[in-house]
Amino acid sequence: MSISPAAYRIVTALLCAALATLLCWQQHRLPADLLSLLPQLPFILLPVALLIPLFSNHSKELATSLLMLCAYWLIRNHLQAPLQTVPAAQIFYLLCVVLPINVLALIWLPEHGLRHPQGIAIALLPAIGLFLLAQLLVANPGLMADTSRTNIASAIGSIHLSALSAWLYGLAFACAIFSAIWQQQMYANSAVGCALILAITMGWIDVANISAIMFTGLGLLLTINITSGLFHIGFYDELTQIGNRRALLAAAKTAGNQYSLAMIDADHFKKINDRFGHDLGDQALRVIASCISKVGCGAKAFRYGGEEFCLLFKGKSQAEVTDCLEQLRQAIANYDMVIRDKKARPAQCAKGEKNRGASRRHSNLRLTVSVGVVDSSAGGSFEQLIKLADRALYRAKAGGRNRLAFA
């Protein structure tokens, strides 16, 4: 069973938080020189995490890195005193409330990039707002002082978080998990780690070096997530979520001397787009991608371009993959895509839910594919084998479509 890139990054976030927490409780084992260096590490790692989205045009990742850098600066400058004192209590209360709210906002805000005014605002306003609010509290010691002390006094057990703060961090963490898994949002993977690490840091803020260790872990996590996200964008097709042509060429370099290659093309795809529209055409491509990604024989699936896909079988001959490809062709041909009549849909959602499944005003779309197959015994470079597979593919189309042809 394959694990999605989003799941990998969520696991990375959880492991990073767990390792940082373990290090906090085992820090007495660290050398004294390293302990003295710990408070400076976030000031090195967070700017590194900040530079990557700055050059890759990602406003939400940049906003997070700036916000975390600002939060750590406030902790180092204002939370080294006892929490019952002012302004430490005020700054602590501010961080406990504002940080999870910002994480929640960044999850649901759309990504505009840094070339758009809204993207620049998203990138800068969270950190600037936090910094200005903190300076306002420092300049006005009486402002929110009683509320802050009450918040600390109402902490849950030995944890310094109040019920409100705990709920906010829990909500941010849950929303980040939902967005990462079900909406496949790249930023949400960073938000998972941020919500969890911030909650641990603020909950046990009086543990020695906890902010330095946790924010060091956060800097590493943001760098890993942003880098892996860029890798995913570069090597995966956005529509079908399988490897793209760049990923295919990279995989070919490690294919060895024995492999087979299958070029797969959706039959009559232009007619599907012309008759039913590009939305349904995209849905058809997702169906085909889903089918080919489940092929056995150790195959790796790629979208080559347009309605053309590719399967790479490492260590397999043409004869060894024929049955798998025939099963794939049959599975796609037997798949019924239901096309519902939009005019038959009621305007009111409640009425639509009541009548769901009752309407018969729909038609079925039958998808078929043609397949061209070649293996490395044909000789030549990988690019030449692709051309041979393409020629076999067009022979399959010329022979009536919905069939396999071999080079």
Euclidean distance between CA atoms 321 and 151, whole angstroms: 65
Count: domains in the chain:
2
Mean pLDDT over the full length of the chain: 86
Residues 380 and 264 grouped into a single domain:
yes
Residue 178, pLDDT score: 87
DSSP 155-201: --TTSS--HHHHHHHHHHHHHHHHHHHTS--HHHHHHHHHHHHHHHH
92, 83 contact by CB (below 8 A): yes
d(CA 213, CA 39): 8
Look up residue 176 and give its two tokens: 């980040």
138 and 29 in one domain? yes
User: What is d(CA 84, CA 17) in angstroms, rounded to the nearest whole number?
Assistant: 28
220 in the same domain as 148: yes
Whether 240 is in a domain gets the answer: no
Please state, in angstroms and rounded to a whole number, the distance separating the CA atoms of residues 222 and 191.
9
User: What is the chain's Cα-based Rg?
Assistant: 27
Distinct helix (H) and strand (E) counts, the chain: 16, 7
- Dihedral sign for Cα 56, 98, 199, 204, please: positive
Give the per-residue pLDDT at 348: 47
Let me know: does 234 contact 60? Beta carbons within 8 Å: no
The residue range of the domain holding 118 is 5-235
Q: Based on the domain organization, do 219 and 259 belong to the same domain?
A: no
| Residue 31 neighbours by CB distance under 10 Å | 8
Residue the block writes with tokens 């399967």: 311
Q: Please state whether beta strands 404-406 and 369-375 pair in parallel, antiparallel, or not at all (unpaired).
A: parallel
Q: What pTM does this model have?
A: 0.74
CA-to-CA separations, 106 to 112, 172, 219, in angstroms, rounded = 12, 10, 18
Are 399 and 254 part of one and the same domain? yes
User: Are 21 and 74 contained in the same domain?
Assistant: yes
Boundary of a domain, candidates 235, 266, 299: 235
Residue tagged active-site, from 307, 308, 320, 383: 307
Whether residue 66 is found in the same domain as residue 210: yes
CATH classification at residue 347: 3.30.70.270
Locate tokens 């849905």: which residue?
A: 283
Q: What is the pLDDT of residue 340?
A: 61
| 201 and 254 together in one domain | no
Per-residue pLDDT tens digits for 38-60? 999 999 999 999 998 888 888 99
**Using an 8 Å Cβ cutoff, are 304 and 310 in contact?**
yes
Among 201, 235, 269, identify where a domain stops.
235
Indicate whether 68 belongs to any domain. yes
Contacts of 208 (CB under 8 A, 6+ apart): 27
- Encode the chain (407 residues) as per-residue pLDDT tens digits: 455 666 777 888 889 899 999 999 899 898 988 889 999 999 999 999 999 888 888 899 999 999 999 999 999 999 988 877 888 888 998 999 999 999 999 998 988 888 899 999 999 999 999 999 999 988 887 777 566 556 655 555 556 777 788 899 999 999 988 888 776 677 777 888 899 999 999 988 888 899 999 999 999 999 988 888 778 788 889 889 899 999 999 999 999 899 999 999 999 999 988 888 888 899 999 999 999 999 988 899 999 999 999 999 999 999 999 999 999 999 999 988 877 655 544 444 444 445 445 444 456 788 999 999 999 998 889 999 999 999 999 999 999 999 999 98
Q: Compute the distance between CA of residue 171 and CA of residue 195 in angstroms, rounded to an integer.
A: 9
Is the domain of 299 the same as that of 278? yes
The yes-or-no answer on residue 307 being catalytic is: yes
